[in-house]
Chains A and B, each alone.
Chain A
Amino acid sequence: MTWRDLALARPALGALLPLGGGGQGKIFRLPEFHLAEVPVPLIYKEYRETSGGVAPQGVANVITLRAAVAREQQPWFDSHLVWPLRLVVDDLDAADATVAGIVMRLIPGAFFTELRLGGETHRVPREARFLFLDRRDAAQRGLDFPDLAARLLLCQRLAYLIAFLHRNDIVFGDISSRNVLYCLAPTPDVLLVDCDAVRKVGSAPVVAQGHAPDFMPPNPRSPQSITTDLFKLGLFVIRALSPGAVVTADTAGRTAAGTLDRTGATLVAASVGHDPAARPSALAWYRYFRSLTLLSLPVRGL
């Protein structure tokens, strides 16, 4: 499949309703543009500058990774991963067309929250960074403070998602406090956003992206890979289960030893260690969380 099969010129999107800007560009709601295979409201994410550095075929390859997922898995896939669905180029007929942006699904309402800041309330995506706040800070910002059972389920869900991607040879890359969203009702769940930066194992990244400063692996120059995903997953888990604590790669093992049961602490220590080969798989994390019951809570002090 060539990129032209998945590309659109901007006028084909119809009306663009601004939804605000972000670090990576502008976001527009697309009230007139629909895709039969993903029957949910769509958005257009316009890259900050027309990005001559992004190869259209590279973006198209990421889009087609979704199509390679088994058909019965796609509804679940689409409700847990904000994946690029079409690419938008400046000139559809030009041989050297540049990528202007991508079409993705709208983030479902359940993954938004009201945030109180300086006397004003804003509706914002419920980012994982809110999960890392202690009870008082969360209350000051008008945010929920999920209980332990919800946090364990969120970690389980994230482990499942990462395991799913790895099972399909996909590196998520930028697991961070901004790219993992969560909801608490009707049941705790997670959603990964900014999936345009994913990478197929054995392929070069399409969109150059470094590690988020607060999820920097021991070797900051190491490219994003399965093992850096696993480092970040381990760090995410211990942060989510020790809200309010300042947890870095250096302190994660110690925090885990004082917080989790022995199995959990061992998994965290191996995840954040310097030996990438020793990091437990996302599947191992998933099975750990699955094995827990409310009668054998592994966490103290939450």
Chain B
Amino acid sequence: MGHTPALVPFYLVVDVSQSMEGPRLEQANQILRKLAAALAADPRANDKVRICMIDFSGSARVVLPLCDLLNTAALPVLRTRDDGTRYSPALDLLLGTINQDTRQLAADGFAIGRPAAFFLSDGEPFDDAPNAWEQSLARLLATCENPPMIVPCSIAESDPAILRALAHPRPGTPVLVQGADAQPEDAINALIDVVIGTVLSSADQETAVFTQINDQSELDTIIAEPPEEWITAQWEAGGR
């Protein structure tokens, strides 16, 4: 039996609470469309990645089950829901979905790379019970059969400190934070380029690879928390 190339699963977890209504949601709805266009132009990358989208507000649901984006008849359209903002249901659903997808892909004979999850929110988890999202995160990291890299994306009224806590593994995972002078919809637009760049370059590596943030006009929209490896000596970095 020949070498089976690993598939890298990507999970796009997107806030659809009421505050996303308007231009923010319009931009969020461009994520899958632009990603599909980029993958259509790069069939070799498309063969190696799979995409899933989960939306959340006070509840969470899988709006696009893990799939080859180019074989999807119609891309889902996100709509806002008016039932609060909770991170816990989204993290719990992410755990269940990754476990299920991992087993499914393995049963289909695929090798599976490390999944990556982009977690986009424009608000704080006001409606979670105390400690709820922290416990969900701990459960996800401790019990997931294929623990994901989690890249938090903080826009608008979300709390960068809370989202930073979601980043995994640390150090090394960027945290994307909207710049002070940027509009939320511009930040989402810049994020799309980061997602596309990451997905395309990950196809070669069998794990999520964060390429340079390549938006040409919104450099200050996104601040990536840089990894410690950038400042350690070469001998030290090589020895780890």
Contacts and interface: CB of A to CB of B under 8 A. Distances in A.
Contacts of A108: 179-181, 220
B2 to A, nearest CB: 32
A229 to B, nearest CB: 14
Instruction: Report whether over half of chain B's contact residues are helix, strand or loop; otherwise say mixed.
Output: loop
- Which 6 residue pairs of A and B lie closest in terms of their CB atoms, listed nearest first? A110-B180, A163-B231, A187-B160, A75-B213, A39-B216, A109-B181
Given A39-B217, A71-B212, A283 B160 contact: no
B181 A75 contact: no
A164 interface: yes
B219 A283 contact: no
B178 A186 contact: yes
A283 B178 contact: no
Contacts of A74: 212
Given A75-B222, A108-B180, A164-B230, 9 more contacts: A36-B216, A39-B216, A76-B223, A79-B223, A110-B220, A167-B230, A186-B154, A187-B161, A187-B223
Given A40-B220, A167-B231, A189-B223, A183 B211 contact: no
Interface string A170-193: 000000000000010111010000
Contact of A186 (B160, B214, B233): B160
A286 interface: yes
B216 A167 contact: no
Interface of A: 36, 38-40, 71-76, 78-79, 108-110, 160, 163-164, 166-167, 183, 185-187, 189, 282-283, 286-287, 290
Nearest to B170: A290
A160 B232 CA distance: 10
B216 to A, nearest CB: 4
A110 B154 CA distance: 16
B91 interface: no
Given A110-B179, A283-B232, A73 B219 contact: no
A72 B179 contact: no
A73 B226 contact: yes
Contacts of A39: 215-217, 219
Contacts of A287: 228
B176 to A, nearest CB: 11
Interface of B: 154, 160-161, 164, 171, 177-181, 210-217, 219-220, 222-224, 226, 228, 230-233
A72 B212 contact: yes
A36 B217 CA distance: 9
A78 B230 contact: no
Nearest to A162: B231
A40 B232 contact: no
A41 B224 CA distance: 20
A72 B210 contact: yes
A38 B231 contact: no
Nearest to A106: B220
B63 to A, nearest CB: 28
Contacts of A78: 219
B231 A164 contact: yes
Contact of A110 (B181, B213, B217): B181
A167 B232 contact: yes
A186 B232 contact: no
Contacts of A185: 180
B110 to A, nearest CB: 28
Nearest to B219: A40
B222 to A, nearest CB: 8
A286 B171 CA distance: 12
A186 to B, nearest CB: 5
A75 B224 CA distance: 9
Contacts of B233: 167
A160 B220 contact: no
A71 B220 CA distance: 17
Nearest to A109: B181
Contacts of A73: 226, 230
Contact of B212 (A38, A75, A164): A75
Contact of A109 (B154, B180, B214, B228): B180
A108 B177 CA distance: 15
A100 B210 CA distance: 39
Contacts of A290: 171, 228
A40 B220 CA distance: 8
Contact of A187 (B177, B212, B220, B230): B177
A144 B219 CA distance: 26
28 contacts: A36-B216, A40-B220, A71-B212, A73-B226, A74-B212, A75-B213, A75-B222, A75-B224, A76-B223, A76-B224, A108-B220, A109-B181, A110-B220, A160-B226, A160-B231, A163-B231, A164-B230, A166-B231, A167-B230, A167-B231, A185-B180, A186-B154, A186-B180, A186-B223, A187-B161, A187-B164, A283-B231, A287-B228
A78 B171 CA distance: 21
A40 B154 CA distance: 21
